[in-house]
Amino acid sequence: MSASVAVYRSIYTEDRFKQAYGSDDNASGSLRLREKLAGRCRCSKRACLHLLRERVPIFSWLPRYKLKKWILGDTIAGLTVGILHIPQGMAFALLTSVAPIFGLYTSFFPVVLYMFFGTGRHVSTGTFAVVSLMTGSVVEQLVPSPLEINSSSSEASDFEAQRIGVASAIALLSGIIMLCMFALQLGFLSTYLSEPIVKAFTSAAAFHVTISQLQSMLGLRLPRHTGTFSLFKTLASVMENLPHTNMAELLISLVCLAILVPVKELNMRFRKRLRTPIPVEILTVIIATGVAYACSLDSTYNIEIVGHIPAGFPRPQLPAFHMFPAIAGDTIAITFVGYAVSVSLAMIYADKHGYSIHPNQELLAHGISNTVSSFFTCFPSSATLATTNILESAGGYTQLSGLFTSLVVLIVLLLIGPLFYFLPKAVLACINVTSLRQMFLQFQDLPDLWRISKIDFMVWLVTWLSVVILNVDLGLAIGVVFSMMTVICRTQRAGCSVLGRASNTEIYRPLENHNKCYEVPGVKILTYNGPIYYGNRSFFREEMIRLLGLTPEKIRRREKAIKALEKRERETTVSTVERGITNTSFSSENEFFKSETSESYDQAVLIDCSSVIFVDVAGARLLTQMCTECQKVGVHVYLANCNESVLKILTSSGLMKYMNPQHIFVTVHDAVVYIQQQKEKPSANTTTVWV
């Protein structure tokens, strides 16, 4: 059974509606400003506590922690992620072109700091493959690897110190940038890295990571290529040196892949049944280290091993401040990528579990994490895909799981670290490659993306190809620029339609999609689905001319006809008689001019502004120009559904000098009813014929 709606009310123009229901803008605006200033400047114990809980969220969620309900899940999830952090931290350190111990440091300090300042309950921070790869490219450019170096010499120690100095300088500068963004409340900037860009970028970066690890998996001692076309340069170098493959390291890599890939697949398929995933990475590391030590693989088959891992806490030291000018450009890209991935992950799991995160607070959390940890020889960190997924699936509830994660890493740093001396680097390379599974699987989203939005599909494709073919940094920039260009193009070519009315309703829809709607006689109702600004003013004008048929030539011809008709009417009386005989020649000429003024034109043009989100100065001037041109040919212009900002700009630009303020209505139907009422009682001096 269908319900009916009947509404009886007066016709509302914008002025009349504002008088009836509006408020005093100046009074309310000044009042709101005073309230905001008073709220900001108020200093009390309650305000200080609120600020403390807001900026250090642990003081907000820890007092409300449900110990019996959450502690078991946080403990198991934290320990599971901590075990995974150990091999991944050392593996991603190789991507960063620093010693494995620095990966363990980066898996400890940021985790502890994020637990205090972060708002994502299921976010696991630490080393991330893409950020490590981008950082490693900068390190390789500024501190290139020498062809031969004695790993036990002081020269090797100085070389490692230079490299970690650059990497920690990147972390420090990245943290400073995030803190500055937090101070300016620029958390919204992460939205410029849309979901298609982030997914295409991480998927393409996974190819760079895989190709860069081939030399370690094959036992080749090759310099790392950076810059444009680095992926193809590395691949060509590997192919050229295939005859020099270390067969022992190749065998180790094949065995590790044969273990890691199937077990990780089992973890993924049975993650709902498994209380915790099988820690295959740490088991592989332990077994490989034991086999390499027992068989003396480093001396017998010349395989590359991790080497000395110092036990204990790192001593604080200053990053390489003098490198700031050289790393500034790359650090900005690293900062945006790390922050965008972190916020995206936090939002995904926040939506899933029904809580909210604060992007600006995330800037503060990651900014402090990177800034403080950089003084303890850490490289840039962010939220990580694999460990965050495991943390959530293992039953983590709050940020407290980070405490148990950091305890596992701390035990390794203080006690167990030196035992990994004989760990083959080929094992870490295999862990790097297999950790990218989720990134490679993002190709599965392409068919759905093509079906939903072909423009977003093109953004994905352009970003992916740019990152793979050119480079990680340059490809990301191209992807962002291309994405923004698609937005600009869509606003420039927004659709313009003629609206028709559904019978016996106040509903108006585009005639091109609703053939049962009809045009209101004598009124051309137009709608434009986008802003009117300097970038699309020409297109908007062309569309209006096309739909109204008011070309400059027709406007001039009709204007002349109207002036001629008015002149004829002034020169005659109601009945024109010459020498007692009616002047039939004038009558025929008069009919000719009337036909010129009324040919296929509407009496009124009504523009529905409901989809016009903003108008700039150029757009306002264009509307003023169109209004004057329509008035020249006797066509009245009406507006409806203008939002406050659009109406304010149009009023300030002087449109009301050329347009009656009473011709701006609250809804399209108000305007149509008003026009129809005016049609029923036309002015005695009107020269326009109603259709």
Q: Give the per-residue pLDDT at 83.
A: 92
Predicted local distance difference test score (pLDDT) of residue 688: 34
What tokens were used for 25? 């803008």
Mean pLDDT value across residues 578-606: 54
> Which one has a higher pLDDT value, 550 or 355?
355
Q: Is 687 helix (H, G, I), strand (E, B) or coil?
A: coil
Pair type for strands 581-582 and 604-608: unpaired
Per-residue CA distances from 66 to 71, 320, 354, 397, 405 (Å):
8, 44, 17, 10, 19
d(CA 423, CA 521): 84
DSSP 348-413: HHHHHHT----HHHHHHHHHHHHHHHHTTT----EE-HHHHHHHHHTT--STTHHHHHHHHHHHII
Q: pLDDT, tens digit, for every residue of 22-56?
A: 776 554 555 565 666 666 666 777 878 888 888 99
pTM over 0.75: yes
**What CA–CA distance (Å, rounded) separates 276 from 285?**
19
Tell me the per-residue pLDDT of 170-194, one tens digit each, with 9 for 90 and over: 999 999 999 999 999 888 877 778 8
Pairwise CA distance, residues 331 & 171, whole Å: 8
Long-range contacts of 157-164 (CB under 8 A, 24+ apart): 160/98, 160/99, 162/320, 163/97, 163/98, 163/139, 164/98, 164/99, 164/102, 164/377, 164/379
Q: What is the pLDDT of residues 512-561, one digit of tens each?
A: 889 899 999 889 999 998 899 988 888 888 888 888 877 777 767 766 77
Characterize the bridge pairing of strands 523-528 and 577-578: unpaired
Show the 3-state SS of 420-464: HCCCEHHHHHHHHHHCCHHHHHHHHHHHHHHHHCHHHHHHHHHHH
What is the pLDDT, as a whole number, of residue 592?
Answer: 43
CB 168 within 8 A of CB 320: yes
What size, in residues, is the chain?
A: 691
Q: How far apart are CA 125 and CA 661, in angstroms?
A: 58
Q: Report, as an integer, the average pLDDT of 77-98.
A: 92
Write out the H or E segment, with its range, that includes residue 528.
Answer: strand 523-528
The least confident of 61-75, 138-152, 178-192, 314-328 is 138-152
